[in-house]
Amino acid sequence: MKRVVRAPNTYLEPYKLEKKLKVSDDFPPQTAFINDKERFIAAQCSRRAGKSNGLALRFYTTMEKHPKSTCIYLALTRDSAKNIMWPVLQEIDEKYKIGCAFKESDLSVTHPNGSKLMLYGADMANFIRRLKGQKSPGIGVDEAQDFGGHLQSLLNDVLSPMLVDYVDSWLAVVGTPGPVPQGYYFDITHLKKYKYSVHKWTLLENPHIPNAEAFIADLIERHKWEPDHPTLMREWRNEWKLDVDALWVRYTAEKNHYQELPRHVRKWNYILGIDIGFKDADALAVLAWSEEDPNTYLVEELLTTKQDITALIEQIDAMTKKYSPHKTVIDQGGLGLKIAEEMRRRHGVSVEAADKKQKSENVGILNDELRLGRFKAKSSSRFAQDSYLIQIDWLHSTPDKIVIKKDPHSDIIDAVLYAHKESYSYTHKPEVVGPKYGTREWAEAQTAAMFEAELEGAQKEQDYAKWVRGEFD
């Protein structure tokens, strides 16, 4: 039998990478983050500050220490996990000659000592089920500001229990200040709650970014930003600042939250909006409006990931029976057309195609209603939570075209948009209460009305005389 000769491992001996990073002094803020021995760690950084590189180096040093272990990297979507971390990991592997194997099909990185790093997106089917029950010496959550109200449960209920098997395990939460200074990531990094070890730095401290000051100065000049412009402060100065203009949908709990539908309304009209997801979730939104009330209300929403057509049609059928909507509006792109035909043919439901071509205009109408307090949704709703996440990409937008950041995506906002265009709450006419009969105010109003009628009659007589004389065509 022919003997197989295997080449010796060429990866770094244990802790060589960690020792090299310990003596590195060219980037102190990042080095301090990498070498932090606390179990719960957070990094709040500007764009291009090197937080993803720091997180990648933490993973590699942890993988060296714990052969055959599994580290976890989590971003908002699988695509963002791949786009953010994958090239960084490959670059570091090549730089330090670690010798890892990269498997793109499942986004796994295998160290020569048998340890692994798995990259996940929160949009992946059953990703929480995949994580529960696992043990890990190192976990990182990137772009944490975009996880919204789900971050607290993810960190405390899903990820933290995975650390218990290792005495030196860690959980790092990294990101950039979001457009709304609130939420669990804000509490961790700005309010310093929950005993996380917090690190902060900007691209100005990154020695690998040439002429960072000149780059920021150019941005300020091109966009005509004031010194306290929210995008400048958040993205590049690393400071939390409310930025309503960065939000695509401008919901505020102060103006738009409601507890229950008004009881004085005798008849409601319902609209069902449906957004079909393939990679994303299917979303159903039910809106209510009435001629007796000036507002439109989001009364129910339903989001389901990775379901088949039959299950979706059953959900639509159940909503239809519950509310008897006077209109059902669906995104007819992709599978939507087939589902719409199925609803029409077999279930007798009249389904209309959603208006997707004028999306920017429809968002503008919805924002006007939100600003005036005429669109209502509960602050705990997914719609309200997502409205704080979907941001305008001002760096790529122009006066003629608004560009939305790719991640995160909201299916429920699309469903609401489709339905909202069909609401006629604006036809509501408030009841005019006149002065009480017989009062002085009533008499003055009667006199004014008669005077106006006399003026109108005189004007009509003058116009008729001019017409007779041929002075009007």
- Residue 59 near residue 138, CB atoms below 8 Å: yes
CA triplet 35, 38, 40: central angle to 5 degrees?
Answer: 115
Choosing among 3.50.50.60, 3.30.420.240, 3.20.20.105, 3.30.360.10, the CATH entry for 253-427 is 3.30.420.240
The better pLDDT of the pair 333, 447 is held by 447
Reply yes or no on whether the pLDDT at 23 is more than 60: no
> Cα–Cα distance between 89 and 95 in angstroms, integer?
10
- Inform me whether the pLDDT recorded for 145 exceeds 80: yes
Using the structure block, give the residue that is written with the tokens 């002065």: 435
- The pLDDT-based confidence of 94 (bands split at 50, 70, 90) is very high
Rounded to 5 degrees, φ, ψ at 240 are -70, 130
pLDDT digits (tens, 9 = 90+) for 25-52: 688 999 999 999 999 999 999 999 999 9
Residue 159 has pLDDT above 70, yes or no: yes
Mean pLDDT of 308-315: 85
Instruction: Considering only residues 166 and 356, tell me which one the structure prediction assigns the higher pLDDT.
Output: 166
At residue 215, the pLDDT reads: 92
Residue 425 pLDDT level (bands cut at 50, 70, 90): confident
Query: How far, in Å, CA of 330 to CA of 167, rounded?
Result: 52
User: Residue 143 and residue 325: Cα distance in Å, rounded?
Assistant: 39
At 451 the three-state DSSP class reads helix
Task: Identify the CATH class of 16-236.
Answer: alpha beta
**Least confident piece of the model among 207-211, 266-270, 434-438:** 434-438
Q: Residue 96 corresponds to which tokens in the numbers above? A: 């330090």
Please tell me the predicted confidence (pLDDT) of residue 403.
82
Rounded to whole angstroms, the Cα distance separating 184 from 156 reads 11
Sorted by where each begins, the domain ranges of the chain are 16-236, 253-427
Tokens representing 397? 């937008």
Between 5-19, 45-59, 179-193, 290-304, the lowest mean confidence (pLDDT) is in 5-19
Least confident range of 147-151, 272-276, 299-303: 147-151
Residue with tokens 């957004």: 275
Could you read off the pLDDT of 323-346 as tens digits, one per residue? 999 999 988 776 677 777 777 777
Top pLDDT among 95 and 344 is at 95
What pLDDT does 406 receive? 74
pLDDT higher than 80, residue 84: yes
- Largest interatomic CA distance in the chain: 121
User: Tokens for 241?
Assistant: 């600042």
Query: Helices (H), strands (E): how many in the chain?
Result: 16, 14
Residue 358, burial from CB neighbour count under 10 angstroms (0-12, 13-18, 19+)? exposed
Same fold, 16-236 and 253-427: no
Contacts of residue 301, defined as CB under 8 A and 6 or more positions apart, other chains included, come to 283, 284, 285, 286, 381, 382, 383, 412, 415, 416
